[in-house]
A and B are shown apart, each in its own frame.
Chain A
């Protein structure tokens, strides 16, 4: 394995991200801010929701923010570069096995997802004002879940970006990402779905469920949540599956 090449590619991605810092921040920050504001401020202040709803949805918004930004950071450039500009070819010609380029993309995506998730916390404090009860009582759990969630989003982005054709980008959003967000238990705890038993078990294929529940367990343990070992186990399995599928798909796509 050629680490020099690998790190050079990482530094290329870091360089490009630095250059696009402002648009990148806006892209990653605006949506979570809006979600936090509408769900956390408008609905609770207006009395539609109890104040403790803030604690339920904040970890969920972090999960969504991480998931979306990782997918976006990896899938979008890959689609464009494979289908249209072929920009990625110069890196495919670098002296490194093609699969490692996919891994590099995933790591760069993870960093972006982590930043996008963590930046929600201070932003939410500003927007929500008082009455948020989140804490870092389980730091290891928090770090582990964050890493696993960012890996799921980046590896998911890799798989999507290498499987979805140019005509299906819109479909991807409406058929994969939208349901994932709505049934990702971001705005309600999973246990609340017990009123819909079929649905409650169906959503278990959705990785965002574990992401939201895991972050809830780490940041707001007073809200009902899945046990940590379930979250970590499920995310680990999903991560490995997505990573393997994504790298395989990437290697296939890289050759004509």
Chain B
């Protein structure tokens, strides 16, 4: 059957600084002396009223730059963050009125692994299964299965605190799937995974989705969103600035193309000439011998680029034309680059 999610006008204002090291980004601030006054004046609007509808059995992606409010949204949907306004419904349950019922339906992979460091990998899965009321037999079968799936079997009986970052991430995903939740939340699931493991994870997510499960994930990576998500929302400053299927979103950008050019060198006149080509929005130098050209067209620009290179007496060594990325999407929808 599958379970859908509805969010209505969700708002969240944090009025205390995050606990130390709870989030990577918060480190700098928590390290500073925070006097009484500072504490009182702390106010961050993390969500400024967002509404979303996630259909049963869909893979839904939340994209956005750091601090956009992705983790906060997930936190609210998973009963961990209390919203200041609005409503969140998971299936038929209001997340804030019936948190226990909601917790039974969801599996959560947090952005920062929060594994139980007093236990071994296998014990983490076994106890997690026990918390969800699985029988001893069921949980040892499922734990063995998941350890195998995430290639952790040979480290299964080591303490989780001895794991590398990527292994912790894998274990954390395995744990979230342990009780076979109807809705799986993954906050930046592929952060810290090597490319091969990332592909493995994508496969696992797709398989899980095929069982009719709803999946909500956040990412910075347009390729990942493209590869996995049925639909996306782009969040910035606690607001949704665009939504739709990946291809809809990409089609919505006029200057959606990125041409990555490699020369033997990039003299000033060449950069200027590229900038002046029709349809070029931005030229960004890369190292000393490359340029990223953002433009509203792709292949049709090549002849002009070649002649510009010849005119500047520069050798064109490599061209790759990328599909629209989060970067270009974001630039289009906010007028700002992701890095600003």
Contacts and interface: CB of A to CB of B under 8 A. Distances in A.
B149 to A, nearest CB: 19
Contact of A87 (B19, B117, B128): B117
Given A16-B118, A256-B81, A97 B21 contact: no
Nearest to A8: B130
Nearest to B159: A19
A255 B100 CA distance: 14
Given A82-B19, A84-B21, A256-B80, A95 B132 contact: yes
A11 B75 CA distance: 28
A8 B132 CA distance: 9
Interface string A210-227: 000000000000000000
B79 interface: yes
Contacts of B80: 89, 92-93, 255-256
Question: B interface, by DSSP: helix, strand, loop or mixed?
Answer: loop
Contacts of A85: 114, 117
B14 interface: yes
Contact of B103 (A84, A95, A256): A95
B119 A16 contact: yes
Interface string A11-42: 11001100110000000000000000000000
Q: Name, among A82, A92, A94, A98, the residue most crowded by chain B CB atoms within 10 Å (CB to CB).
A: A94
A97 B82 contact: no
B18 A8 contact: no
Given A87-B115, A89-B80, A94 B131 contact: yes
Interface in A60-99: 82-98
Given A19-B118, A87-B117, A93 B21 contact: no
A94 B132 contact: yes
Interface in A71-130: 82-98
Contacts of B219: none
Nearest to B123: A15
A93 B110 CA distance: 11
A166 to B, nearest CB: 5
Nearest to B112: A86
Contacts, number: 92
B183 to A, nearest CB: 12
A89 B110 CA distance: 9
Contact of B82 (A16, A91, A255): A255
Interface in B84-125: 99-101, 103-104, 106, 108, 110, 112, 114-119, 123-124
Given A90-B175, A94-B132, A256 B21 contact: no
Given A16-B119, A85-B117, A255-B80, A90 B21 contact: no
Nearest to A92: B80
A244 B103 CA distance: 24
A117 B132 CA distance: 34
B294 interface: no
A78 to B, nearest CB: 12
Contact of A83 (B21, B110, B117, B131): B21
A228 interface: no
A111 B100 CA distance: 27
B118 A90 contact: no
B21 A94 contact: no
A84 B161 CA distance: 14
B103 A94 contact: yes
B60 interface: no
A73 to B, nearest CB: 13
B330 interface: no
Nearest to B131: A94
Nearest to B106: A93
A203 interface: no
A15 B123 CA distance: 10
A5 B133 contact: yes
B99 A86 contact: no
A218 B79 CA distance: 47
Q: Name, among B20, B114, B133, the residue most crowded by chain A CB atoms within 10 Å (CB to CB).
A: B114
Contacts of B108: 93
Nearest to A19: B118
Contacts of B124: 90
B258 to A, nearest CB: 37
Contacts of B175: 90
5 contacts: A16-B118, A86-B114, A95-B101, A95-B103, A256-B18
5 cross-chain pairs, A with B, having the tightest CB-CB distances, nearest first: A8-B130, A94-B131, A86-B114, A95-B104, A89-B114
Interface of A: 2, 4-5, 8-9, 11-12, 15-16, 19-20, 82-98, 166, 255-256
